[in-house]
């Protein structure tokens, strides 16, 4: 049985929200102002018939849109989509009562995502590679992806050949593929560990397909070339499965904000530094202490600074900043600070930063909600938010990056 609804607004998850007699319903692939017939089930709705489309509705860029769950908003006119994405940051921070200036959204263009996490499995008809249907475990085989860089999309059939050798039966597993300066870096996870015969077959296939590296659950199976990523002027050997900003353009935009705000700091600390995304760029002008909990990332950063000339002093420390945040007294030697935590944010670390005397702070976040919480802590500690810059690193999704620049007199 279908129900006629009017989409009132767009939810934070990228679904349209409609009021019904049973409460609010979330309608995927709809737009504000549209009238539609939907099938309702437990607060979620399936779009059955679009009766009155929005003038902001456009043709999607991908033939798999609405089947593949990789994108939620390809059907929305660009300016309206960007205004909504900017509002995610605006609303999350304003909800905390913060005073701030929000810059225009830094846009993302198609074909720039350099890392894709594919859902894969083998079947009686061959290897299947793609993404799960929206809110489903059904795997949609893809032949294109307008979000991802051509270096990956052009190799989909080669990746399917790899999946066929990895096997795993009908059970789905994951294949994370990263485009690097050395070629494709591939990590398999969620499948059975390859035995000796399968490792030999995989090695031959990787060499034949000219992939840079194949690893399983962080263990390197074969590495014809070390995958290299450049952070500023410094080449870094990317750890297997290591964290990387999704697009080069977003990374450059964030790095420019970080280095610009901290330009006058003679000594800077980079917390949750990863393999050196910001630290190695900061080191072109000033000394930096880089801190990260992941051992592989710390090792990659430490290795890179040992063989590069022309940088200011870089010191590296492995430390779990959730369990053992840098205390305010430990931050005393630093005039600048940047922190880029996971989606959960950095509440314990923000408390210590708020008590510190660090004059310039940059908060980088992929979650506006936890960013708002952490900024509230800093503001209560005497910091002023100079500006906030939203960055659309995850095109046609509900995810948005933000960089907040703060100062304390």
Active site residues: 366
User: Is 292 known to sit in a ligand binding site?
Assistant: yes
- Which helix (H) or strand (E) segment is 123 a member of? strand 115-123
User: Is 272 known to sit in a ligand binding site?
Assistant: yes
User: Is 65 known to sit in a ligand binding site?
Assistant: no
Can you tell me the distance from the alpha carbon of 296 to that of 243, in angstroms, rounded to the nearest whole number?
10
Nearest to 101 by CA among 408, 406, 409: 406
Mind giving me the DSSP string for 330-395?
TTTT-SEEEE---TT--HHHHHHHHTS--SEEEEEES-HHHHHHHHHHHHHTT-EEEEEEEE--ST
Query: Could you tell me if 298 and 323 are in contact, meaning their C-beta atoms sit under 8 angstroms apart?
Result: no
Give every CB contact of residue 247 below 8 A, 6+ residues apart in sequence.
Answer: 108, 112, 113, 114, 393
281: burial class by Cβ within 10 Å (0-12, 13-18, 19+)? Answer: buried
Can you tell me the distance from the alpha carbon of 77 to that of 135, in angstroms, rounded to the nearest whole number?
24
Can you tell me the distance from the alpha carbon of 206 to that of 304, in angstroms, rounded to the nearest whole number?
26
Nearest to 241 by CA among 198, 201, 200, 275: 275
C-alpha 313: how far from chain center:
29
User: Is 34 known to sit in a ligand binding site?
Assistant: no
Give every CB contact of residue 327 below 8 A, 6+ residues apart in sequence.
Answer: 352
Binding annotation = 245, 272, 292, 340
Binding annotation for S-adenosyl-L-methionine = 245, 272, 292, 340
């Amino acid at each position: 049985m279908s129900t006629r609804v009017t989409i009132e607004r767009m939810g934070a998850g990228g679904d349209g929200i409609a009021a019904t007699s049973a409460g609010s319903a979330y309608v995927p692939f709809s737009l504000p102002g549209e009238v539609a017939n939907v099938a309702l089930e437990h607060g979620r709705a399936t779009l059955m018939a679009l009766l009155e489309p929005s003038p902001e509705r456009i043709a999607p860029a991908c033939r798999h849109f609405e089947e593949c769950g990789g994108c939620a908003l390809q059907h929305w006119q660009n300016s309206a989509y960007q205004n909504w994405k900017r509002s995610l940051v605006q609303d999350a921070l304003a909800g905390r009562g913060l005073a701030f200036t929000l810059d225009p959204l830094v846009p993302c263009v198609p074909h720039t995502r350099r890392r894709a996490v594919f859902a894969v499995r083998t079947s009686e008809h061959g290897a299947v590679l793609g993404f799960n249907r929206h809110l489903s475990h059904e795997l949609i085989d893809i032949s294109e992806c307008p979000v991802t860089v051509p270096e990956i999309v052009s190799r989909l059939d080669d990746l399917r050949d790899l999946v066929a050798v990895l096997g795993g039966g009908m059970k789905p597993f994951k294949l994370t593929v990263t485009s690097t300066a050395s070629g494709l870096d591939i990590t398999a996870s969620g499948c059975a560990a390859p035995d000796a015969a399968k490792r030999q077959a995989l090695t031959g296939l990787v060499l034949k397909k000219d992939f840079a590296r194949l690893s399983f659950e962080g263990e390197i199976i074969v590495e014809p070339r070390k995958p290299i990523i450049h952070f500023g002027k410094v080449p870094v050997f990317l750890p297997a499965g290591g964290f990387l900003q999704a697009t080069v353009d977003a990374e450059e935009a964030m790095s420019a904000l970080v280095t610009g705000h901290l330009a006058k700091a003679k000594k800077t600390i980079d917390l949750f530094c990863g393999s050196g995304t910001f630290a190695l760029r900061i080191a072109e002008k000033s000394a930096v202490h880089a801190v990260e909990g992941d051992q592989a990332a710390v090792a990659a950063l430490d290795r890179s600074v040992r063989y590069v000339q022309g940088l200011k002093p870089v010191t590296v420390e492995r430390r779990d900043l959730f369990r053992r945040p840098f205390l305010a007294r430990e931050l005393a030697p630093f005039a600048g600070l940047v922190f880029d935590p996971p989606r959960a944010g950095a509440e314990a670390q923000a408390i210590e930063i708020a008590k510190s005397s660090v004059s310039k702070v940059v908060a980088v976040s992929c979650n506006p909600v936890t960013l708002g919480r952490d900024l509230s802590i800093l503001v209560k500690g005497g910091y002023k938010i100079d500006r906030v810059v939203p960055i659309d690193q995850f095109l046609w999704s509900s995810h948005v990056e933000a960089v907040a620049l703060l100062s304390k007199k």
